[in-house]
Amino acid sequence: MTIDWHTLNREPGLPGLYAHAATRRKITGTTLPASGLRCWVDVDAKRLAAYRKVCGFTDNSLLPPTYPHILAFALQMQLLTARDFPFPLLGLIHLSNRIRVLRPMGGVGRVRVSVHVQNLQPHAKGATFDLVTTLDDQLGALWEAESQMLCRGVKLEGESVEDVLASTLTLTQVAQWKAPVDIGRQYAKVSGDYNPIHLSAASAKLFGFPSAIAHGLWNKARTLAALADHLPSANIEIAVQFKKPVRLPSEVALLASAAGSSGELQLIGAGDLEHMVGHWRPVA
Protein backbone atom coordinates (compact mmCIF):
# COMPACT_ATOMS: atom_id res chain seq x y z
CA MET A 1 0.00 0.00 0.00
CA THR A 2 1.39 3.38 -1.06
CA ILE A 3 0.55 6.12 1.41
CA ASP A 4 0.11 9.75 0.37
CA TRP A 5 1.65 11.54 3.35
CA HIS A 6 0.54 15.02 4.44
CA THR A 7 2.83 16.87 6.85
CA LEU A 8 1.29 19.28 9.36
CA ASN A 9 3.14 22.24 10.84
CA ARG A 10 1.51 21.78 14.25
CA GLU A 11 -0.83 19.49 16.14
CA PRO A 12 -4.53 19.84 15.29
CA GLY A 13 -6.87 21.43 17.83
CA LEU A 14 -9.15 18.92 19.53
CA PRO A 15 -12.29 21.08 20.07
CA GLY A 16 -12.89 21.48 16.34
CA LEU A 17 -12.26 17.79 15.72
CA TYR A 18 -14.81 16.81 18.36
CA ALA A 19 -17.32 19.10 16.64
CA HIS A 20 -16.68 17.26 13.35
CA ALA A 21 -17.05 13.90 15.09
CA ALA A 22 -20.39 14.90 16.63
CA THR A 23 -21.88 15.71 13.23
CA ARG A 24 -20.68 12.56 11.44
CA ARG A 25 -23.19 9.77 12.10
CA LYS A 26 -23.43 7.89 8.77
CA ILE A 27 -21.27 5.34 6.95
CA THR A 28 -20.32 6.96 3.64
CA GLY A 29 -18.34 4.20 1.92
CA THR A 30 -16.35 0.99 2.20
CA THR A 31 -12.89 2.13 1.08
CA LEU A 32 -10.18 3.41 3.39
CA PRO A 33 -8.26 6.54 2.35
CA ALA A 34 -4.71 5.97 1.13
CA SER A 35 -3.47 9.10 2.89
CA GLY A 36 -1.65 9.60 6.16
CA LEU A 37 -0.71 12.46 8.47
CA ARG A 38 2.66 13.38 9.96
CA CYS A 39 3.69 16.02 12.46
CA TRP A 40 6.61 16.77 14.79
CA VAL A 41 5.35 16.79 18.38
CA ASP A 42 7.03 17.95 21.58
CA VAL A 43 6.81 15.93 24.81
CA ASP A 44 5.26 18.18 27.47
CA ALA A 45 6.77 17.41 30.87
CA LYS A 46 3.69 18.45 32.89
CA ARG A 47 1.32 16.41 30.75
CA LEU A 48 3.66 13.43 30.96
CA ALA A 49 3.81 13.70 34.74
CA ALA A 50 0.00 13.85 34.95
CA TYR A 51 -0.25 10.78 32.70
CA ARG A 52 2.19 8.85 34.88
CA LYS A 53 0.09 9.65 37.94
CA VAL A 54 -3.25 8.63 36.39
CA CYS A 55 -1.85 5.39 34.95
CA GLY A 56 0.43 4.37 37.83
CA PHE A 57 3.81 4.74 36.12
CA THR A 58 6.83 5.78 38.16
CA ASP A 59 9.31 8.27 36.73
CA ASN A 60 12.24 6.14 35.53
CA SER A 61 13.36 8.66 32.84
CA LEU A 62 11.74 6.54 30.09
CA LEU A 63 8.53 7.39 28.30
CA PRO A 64 5.85 4.88 29.39
CA PRO A 65 5.38 2.35 26.58
CA THR A 66 1.77 3.48 26.05
CA TYR A 67 2.48 7.24 26.15
CA PRO A 68 3.03 7.61 22.38
CA HIS A 69 -0.72 7.06 21.99
CA ILE A 70 -1.18 10.37 23.82
CA LEU A 71 1.29 12.14 21.53
CA ALA A 72 -0.59 10.81 18.49
CA PHE A 73 -4.17 11.32 19.64
CA ALA A 74 -4.86 14.67 17.92
CA LEU A 75 -3.43 13.40 14.62
CA GLN A 76 -5.51 10.23 14.90
CA MET A 77 -8.62 12.33 15.52
CA GLN A 78 -7.95 14.45 12.44
CA LEU A 79 -7.43 11.36 10.29
CA LEU A 80 -10.63 9.67 11.53
CA THR A 81 -12.83 12.77 11.13
CA ALA A 82 -11.59 13.72 7.65
CA ARG A 83 -14.13 13.80 4.81
CA ASP A 84 -12.50 10.88 2.98
CA PHE A 85 -12.70 8.59 6.03
CA PRO A 86 -15.89 6.57 5.51
CA PHE A 87 -16.92 5.66 9.08
CA PRO A 88 -18.28 7.83 11.91
CA LEU A 89 -15.77 8.15 14.74
CA LEU A 90 -18.43 7.95 17.46
CA GLY A 91 -19.37 4.31 17.81
CA LEU A 92 -16.05 2.81 16.70
CA ILE A 93 -15.06 -0.04 19.03
CA HIS A 94 -11.43 -0.68 20.01
CA LEU A 95 -10.94 -4.45 19.74
CA SER A 96 -7.19 -4.86 20.20
CA ASN A 97 -3.92 -2.99 20.47
CA ARG A 98 -0.36 -3.98 19.65
CA ILE A 99 2.68 -1.83 20.42
CA ARG A 100 6.36 -2.34 19.67
CA VAL A 101 9.03 -0.46 21.58
CA LEU A 102 11.97 -0.64 19.19
CA ARG A 103 14.55 1.30 21.25
CA PRO A 104 14.68 2.58 24.85
CA MET A 105 12.52 5.72 25.05
CA GLY A 106 14.76 7.75 27.34
CA GLY A 107 15.59 11.41 26.81
CA VAL A 108 12.82 11.81 24.24
CA GLY A 109 11.81 15.45 23.82
CA ARG A 110 10.58 15.72 20.23
CA VAL A 111 9.28 13.03 17.87
CA ARG A 112 7.71 12.76 14.45
CA VAL A 113 4.30 11.10 14.72
CA SER A 114 2.78 9.37 11.68
CA VAL A 115 -0.74 7.91 11.42
CA HIS A 116 -2.67 6.07 8.72
CA VAL A 117 -5.31 3.35 8.34
CA GLN A 118 -5.13 0.02 6.54
CA ASN A 119 -6.30 -3.60 6.40
CA LEU A 120 -10.08 -3.25 6.01
CA GLN A 121 -11.61 -6.66 6.74
CA PRO A 122 -15.11 -8.14 7.11
CA HIS A 123 -16.26 -8.91 10.63
CA ALA A 124 -19.29 -10.75 11.98
CA LYS A 125 -20.62 -7.42 13.31
CA GLY A 126 -19.42 -5.11 10.53
CA ALA A 127 -15.88 -4.38 9.41
CA THR A 128 -12.51 -3.85 11.08
CA PHE A 129 -9.52 -1.74 10.15
CA ASP A 130 -6.12 -1.02 11.67
CA LEU A 131 -5.17 2.45 12.89
CA VAL A 132 -1.38 2.48 12.50
CA THR A 133 0.81 4.90 14.46
CA THR A 134 4.59 5.27 14.36
CA LEU A 135 7.09 7.46 16.20
CA ASP A 136 10.49 8.47 14.87
CA ASP A 137 13.21 10.57 16.44
CA GLN A 138 16.39 11.92 14.91
CA LEU A 139 17.87 8.40 14.89
CA GLY A 140 14.95 6.72 13.14
CA ALA A 141 12.11 4.39 14.12
CA LEU A 142 11.41 4.42 17.86
CA TRP A 143 7.93 2.98 18.45
CA GLU A 144 4.99 1.65 16.45
CA ALA A 145 1.45 0.43 17.08
CA GLU A 146 -1.70 -0.95 15.49
CA SER A 147 -5.14 -0.53 17.01
CA GLN A 148 -7.81 -2.74 15.49
CA MET A 149 -11.11 -0.88 15.30
CA LEU A 150 -14.62 -2.20 14.58
CA CYS A 151 -17.33 -0.25 12.79
CA ARG A 152 -20.73 -1.90 13.19
CA GLY A 153 -23.09 -2.10 10.24
CA VAL A 154 -20.51 -2.08 7.43
CA LYS A 155 -21.12 -4.79 4.82
CA LEU A 156 -18.09 -6.22 3.02
CA GLU A 157 -17.68 -9.23 0.76
CA GLY A 158 -15.68 -12.14 2.15
CA GLU A 159 -15.51 -14.24 5.29
CA SER A 160 -14.88 -12.86 8.74
CA VAL A 161 -11.53 -13.86 10.25
CA GLU A 162 -10.85 -13.00 13.87
CA ASP A 163 -7.58 -13.47 15.73
CA VAL A 164 -8.05 -14.69 19.28
CA LEU A 165 -5.45 -14.34 22.01
CA ALA A 166 -5.71 -17.01 24.69
CA SER A 167 -3.55 -17.93 27.67
CA THR A 168 -1.45 -21.06 27.25
CA LEU A 169 0.90 -20.57 30.22
CA THR A 170 0.34 -20.76 33.96
CA LEU A 171 -0.59 -17.31 35.22
CA THR A 172 -0.43 -16.05 38.80
CA GLN A 173 -1.86 -12.88 40.32
CA VAL A 174 0.76 -10.12 40.44
CA ALA A 175 -1.35 -7.05 41.24
CA GLN A 176 -4.84 -5.70 41.81
CA TRP A 177 -6.30 -2.22 41.80
CA LYS A 178 -9.51 -0.26 41.84
CA ALA A 179 -10.87 1.57 38.81
CA PRO A 180 -12.68 4.49 40.49
CA VAL A 181 -15.88 5.98 39.17
CA ASP A 182 -14.06 9.07 37.86
CA ILE A 183 -11.09 7.35 36.19
CA GLY A 184 -12.61 7.96 32.76
CA ARG A 185 -12.63 11.70 33.42
CA GLN A 186 -9.13 11.58 34.90
CA TYR A 187 -7.78 9.74 31.85
CA ALA A 188 -9.64 12.05 29.47
CA LYS A 189 -7.85 15.07 30.97
CA VAL A 190 -4.39 13.60 30.26
CA SER A 191 -5.20 11.89 26.96
CA GLY A 192 -7.70 14.19 25.26
CA ASP A 193 -10.08 11.23 24.74
CA TYR A 194 -13.46 12.54 25.91
CA ASN A 195 -15.59 9.73 24.49
CA PRO A 196 -18.92 10.00 26.38
CA ILE A 197 -19.00 6.29 27.23
CA HIS A 198 -16.09 6.85 29.64
CA LEU A 199 -17.17 10.06 31.39
CA SER A 200 -20.30 9.33 33.42
CA ALA A 201 -23.17 6.90 33.75
CA ALA A 202 -25.54 9.47 32.24
CA SER A 203 -23.44 10.05 29.10
CA ALA A 204 -22.64 6.33 28.73
CA LYS A 205 -26.34 5.43 28.77
CA LEU A 206 -26.85 7.58 25.67
CA PHE A 207 -24.72 5.01 23.83
CA GLY A 208 -26.29 1.90 25.34
CA PHE A 209 -23.99 1.32 28.32
CA PRO A 210 -25.53 0.93 31.80
CA SER A 211 -22.57 2.73 33.37
CA ALA A 212 -19.38 4.46 32.34
CA ILE A 213 -16.55 2.14 31.31
CA ALA A 214 -12.78 2.55 31.60
CA HIS A 215 -10.76 3.43 28.51
CA GLY A 216 -9.18 0.33 27.01
CA LEU A 217 -5.85 2.11 26.73
CA TRP A 218 -6.03 3.08 30.42
CA ASN A 219 -6.50 -0.61 31.24
CA LYS A 220 -3.44 -1.44 29.15
CA ALA A 221 -1.36 1.42 30.55
CA ARG A 222 -2.28 0.55 34.15
CA THR A 223 -1.35 -3.06 33.43
CA LEU A 224 2.05 -2.18 31.96
CA ALA A 225 2.73 0.14 34.89
CA ALA A 226 2.13 -2.81 37.23
CA LEU A 227 4.44 -4.96 35.08
CA ALA A 228 7.20 -2.35 34.75
CA ASP A 229 9.75 -4.52 36.60
CA HIS A 230 8.47 -7.59 34.78
CA LEU A 231 9.13 -6.56 31.16
CA PRO A 232 12.11 -5.48 29.05
CA SER A 233 12.21 -1.73 28.34
CA ALA A 234 12.85 -2.12 24.59
CA ASN A 235 12.85 -4.62 21.72
CA ILE A 236 9.44 -5.73 22.96
CA GLU A 237 6.01 -6.23 21.39
CA ILE A 238 2.99 -6.12 23.70
CA ALA A 239 -0.37 -7.16 22.23
CA VAL A 240 -3.74 -7.19 24.00
CA GLN A 241 -7.34 -7.90 23.13
CA PHE A 242 -10.09 -6.03 24.93
CA LYS A 243 -12.85 -8.32 26.13
CA LYS A 244 -15.63 -7.30 28.53
CA PRO A 245 -15.48 -3.60 29.47
CA VAL A 246 -14.44 -2.53 32.95
CA ARG A 247 -17.55 -0.87 34.37
CA LEU A 248 -16.91 2.00 36.76
CA PRO A 249 -16.32 1.69 39.61
CA SER A 250 -14.68 -1.77 39.67
CA GLU A 251 -11.83 -3.74 41.16
CA VAL A 252 -9.65 -5.84 38.89
CA ALA A 253 -6.80 -8.32 39.26
CA LEU A 254 -3.81 -8.74 36.97
CA LEU A 255 -2.45 -12.22 36.27
CA ALA A 256 0.83 -12.81 34.45
CA SER A 257 3.40 -15.46 33.68
CA ALA A 258 6.98 -15.29 34.95
CA ALA A 259 9.12 -12.27 34.09
CA GLY A 260 11.20 -12.63 30.96
CA SER A 261 11.49 -11.76 27.28
CA SER A 262 8.16 -13.50 26.54
CA GLY A 263 5.03 -14.02 28.57
CA GLU A 264 1.27 -13.66 28.90
CA LEU A 265 -1.15 -11.53 30.89
CA GLN A 266 -4.81 -11.45 31.82
CA LEU A 267 -6.95 -8.77 33.47
CA ILE A 268 -9.99 -10.11 35.31
CA GLY A 269 -12.82 -8.73 37.41
CA ALA A 270 -15.34 -10.11 39.85
CA GLY A 271 -16.46 -13.65 39.07
CA ASP A 272 -13.38 -14.13 36.87
CA LEU A 273 -14.89 -11.85 34.22
CA GLU A 274 -12.21 -11.47 31.55
CA HIS A 275 -11.52 -7.85 30.65
CA MET A 276 -8.27 -8.12 28.70
CA VAL A 277 -5.81 -10.80 27.56
CA GLY A 278 -2.42 -10.40 25.98
CA HIS A 279 1.19 -11.36 25.58
CA TRP A 280 4.61 -9.85 25.23
CA ARG A 281 7.55 -11.08 23.15
CA PRO A 282 10.72 -9.81 21.50
CA VAL A 283 10.24 -7.80 18.33
CA ALA A 284 10.75 -10.16 15.41
113 with 216, same domain: the answer is no
- How far apart are alpha carbons 284 and 280 in whole angstroms? 12
The last residue of one of the domains, among 112, 140, 163, is 163
State the Cα–Cα distance between residues 156 and 127, nearest whole angstrom.
7
CATH code at position 280: 3.10.129.10
For residues 143 and 234, state if they share a domain. Answer: no
Distances (CA, A) of 177 to 82, 241, 248, 269: 38, 20, 12, 10
Average pLDDT value for the chain? 94
- Please check whether residue 166 is in contact with residue 118, taking contact to mean a CB–CB distance below 8 angstroms: no
Residue that is last in its domain, among 134, 163, 192 = 163
pLDDT > 90? residue 164: no
What mean pLDDT comes out for the span 65-72?
A: 98
Examine the pLDDT at 163 and tell me if it is beyond 80: no
200-224 residue pLDDT tens: 999 999 888 899 999 999 999 999 9
Name the amino acid, one letter, at 243.
Answer: K
CB atoms within 10 A of CB 253: 16
Q: How far apart are CA 275 and CA 222, in angstroms?
A: 13
Of the candidates 269, 239, 199, the residue with the CA atom closest to the CA atom of residue 95: 239
CA-to-CA distance for 7 and 121, rounded, in angstroms? 28
Q: Do 57 and 144 have their domain in common?
A: yes
d(CA 22, CA 262): 41
Examine the domain organization and report whether 128 and 247 are in the same domain.
Answer: no
- The structural domain count of the chain equals 2
259, pLDDT greater than 90: no
What span, in angstroms and rounded, lies between the C-alpha atoms of 236 and 12? Answer: 30
Tell me what pLDDT residue 200 has.
95
Quick one: what percent of the chain has pLDDT higher than 90? 84
Please state, in angstroms and rounded to a whole number, the distance separating the CA atoms of residues 239 and 233. Answer: 15
Residue 91 has pLDDT above 90, yes or no: no
What residue numbers bound the domain in which 85 lies? 1-163
Judge contact between 264 and 168, C-beta under 8 A: yes
CA atoms 20, 47, 280, 141: torsion sign: positive
Q: pLDDT band at residue 281, thresholds of 50, 70 and 90? A: very high
Closest to 27 in 3D by CA, of 77, 89, 69, 71: 89
> Which stretch of DSSP H or E encloses residue 137?
strand 126-137
pTM: predicted TM-score of the whole model, two decimal places: 0.95
User: Are both 91 and 115 inside the same structural domain?
Assistant: yes
